[in-house]
Amino acid sequence: MSEPRCASYYTASIHQESDYPRLEGEVTVDVAIVGGGFTGVATAVELAERGYRVAIVEANKIGWGASGRNGGQVTGSLSGEAAMRKQMRRTLGEAADDFVWNLRWRGQRIIRQRVEQYGIACDLKHGHLQAAWKPSHMTALRADFEACQARGMGEHVELLDAHQVRDVIRTELYHGGLLNRYNLHLHPLNLCLGEARVAASLGALIFERSPVERIDHGPSPAVITAHGTLRADRVLLAGNAYHRLERRRLGGRLFPASLGIVTTAPLGGLAEAINPQDLAVYDCRFVLDYYRLTADGRLLFGGGANYSGKDSPDIAAELRPRLEATFPQLAGTPIDYAWQGMAGIVINRIPMLGKLSDTVYYAQGYSGHGVATSHIVGEIMAKAIAGHMEEFDTFAACRHLKVPFGDALGNPLLAAGMWYYQLLERWR
C-alpha cells in the first residue's frame, strides 16, 4: 500500500509536486533503483548524466521518506568518521585520513553545483554553527578548527568563545562554537523533487506508488511490484530505513530511529533577532538538537530521537520544552507543523555500501547525517556501476556488526546502547 506525504512544513511549501506514473507491465533499463529519496535520486542523476538508461521505483512519492522530512542541514560531519578512518586504514593505509577528510567537503560541492547548474529552487544558504553544549565540547571543536587551518580550509571556519557565540545565536545555552561558512542549509523536499526532475529531463524513468515486493537476482536482475516488472543489468537498493527487502543479508545491521521536527508560526522580526546570520545550528551532544530558520521566517527545530523505532505519540509536546529552553523569547509561540521520519542507524555509524550479488547493490545507513552523505554515495555508486570500483570497494570492505535476531532485538539493544552513551556523556 502506498502512503501520501506526511503533513509537514516541507509538504506545505512544495514548489512543484511530483506526479509520476505507477510501474505497469514490463520495462527494461540499464539500472533499476529501488527508493526515491536522496540516495536513489542522486544516483539516478549521476547515471543519467553519464548516459545510462535509469529507472527509479518509489513505493510512495519522490522524497516521501527521510529525504523529504529532515532538518535540511548539509554539513561535513560524516557519521562514524573515526570508525571509518580506522577501518579504511586496512585498505587504504595512510591515505585513509585524506580520503575521509575529503569526503567531509564533497557533499556540499555536489549539491551546490547541481543546484546552480540546473537552477533548483530549494532555499539554499551558506552558514552553520556547531555549538558547544558543555565547556568540554570545545576541545573537539578546537581540534577541528585547527585541522581546517592545517588543511587549507581555514578561510571557511571561525572558532567562537562563549561571548562571541551569543552574537550569532541569541541563546545563553552555549559555551562556544565552530562557525562553518562552507556548510549549507536548504529545503530538502524541494531539492529532492528538483533533482528528480533533473533526472527525468536527462531521460530517467520515474515510477511512484510502486512498492517493490521482490528483487530477482542473476545476470539479468529484475525489480518486481504488484503491477509491473523492471528488468535491468544492475539494481541499486536505496530504501534505507523504510524497506524490508533482502532481510537474510541485510537484517540486523540497520535500525530505524524515529526523529521529530516542529516548525513555529512565522516569527516576523524575532527571526532575525534570534538568528541574525541565518545559520543552521546543531549542538555537540550525542543525541542533539538542531534548528534553522525557514525562508518565510519560521523556526524549524528538531531534537532527540526515539531509538525504539516507533514514532512519539506527541512530538510537538516533546520538542516544545527543548525549543523554549533554547529560545525563551519564543515561549508560547504557536507550532504550525510537527512531523516525524525514520533515519537508518548503523551500529558503528559507517555508511553501508555493498553488493547482495554480482548485479544487485545496496547503499544505506547514514545515521542521521545523510543529506551530504547520500549525495556523495550517489556519486560513488554511479562510478561503481560505470566500472570505477575503488571508492565503492573501500566502503564495501568496512565491517558491520550483525545483531542476532536483529529485526526483533536490534532496536531495544540500540536504545540501551544510546542510553549508555548519553549517560557517559554527562560525565565528560
Ligand X SMILES: Cc1cc2nc3c(=O)[nH]c(=O)nc-3n(C[C@H](O)[C@H](O)[C@H](O)COP(=O)(O)OP(=O)(O)OC[C@H]3O[C@@H](n4cnc5c(N)ncnc54)[C@H](O)[C@@H]3O)c2cc1C
Distances (CA, A) of 349 to 115, 276, 407: 28, 33, 18
Residue of minimal CB distance from ligand X? 370
- What is the crossing angle of helices 188-201 and 38-49, to 10°? 30
Which of 72/252 has CB closer to ligand X? 72
CB of 398 to ligand X, least distance (A): 17
Residues forming a β-bridge with 27: 230
Are 56 and 205 in contact by the 8 Å Cβ rule? The answer is yes
Q: How far apart are alpha carbons 384 and 379 in whole angstroms?
A: 9
Q: How far apart are alpha carbons 186 and 10 in whole angstroms?
A: 11
Residues forming a β-bridge with 346: 254
Which of 56/398 has CB closer to ligand X? 56
CB of 258 to ligand X, least distance (A): 7
Which of 77/91 has CB closer to ligand X? 77
Q: How far apart are alpha carbons 184 and 279 in whole angstroms?
A: 9
Q: How far apart are alpha carbons 37 and 374 in whole angstroms?
A: 9
Which of 241/384 has CB closer to ligand X? 241
Question: Of 401, 341, 357, 414, which is closest to residue 38 (Cα–Cα)?
Answer: 341
CB of 259 to ligand X, least distance (A): 4
CB of 241 to ligand X, least distance (A): 6
Name 85's Cβ contacts closer than 8 Å, sequence gap at least 6.
96, 97, 100
CB of 326 to ligand X, least distance (A): 16
Which of 154/210 has CB closer to ligand X? 210
CB of 312 to ligand X, least distance (A): 11
CB of 89 to ligand X, least distance (A): 25
Which of 177/302 has CB closer to ligand X? 302
Main-chain phi, psi angles of 30, to 5 degrees: -80, -45
CB of 46 to ligand X, least distance (A): 14
Which of 38/174 has CB closer to ligand X? 38
Which of 137/375 has CB closer to ligand X? 375
Which of 82/136 has CB closer to ligand X? 82
List contacts with ligand X (CB under 6 A): 34-40, 57-60, 64-67, 69-73, 211-212, 238-243, 245, 259, 261, 290, 302, 341-343, 364, 366, 368-372, 374
Which of 370/406 has CB closer to ligand X? 370
CB of 77 to ligand X, least distance (A): 8
Is the C-alpha dihedral spanning 167, 168, 173, 176 positive or negative?
A: negative
CB of 25 to ligand X, least distance (A): 17
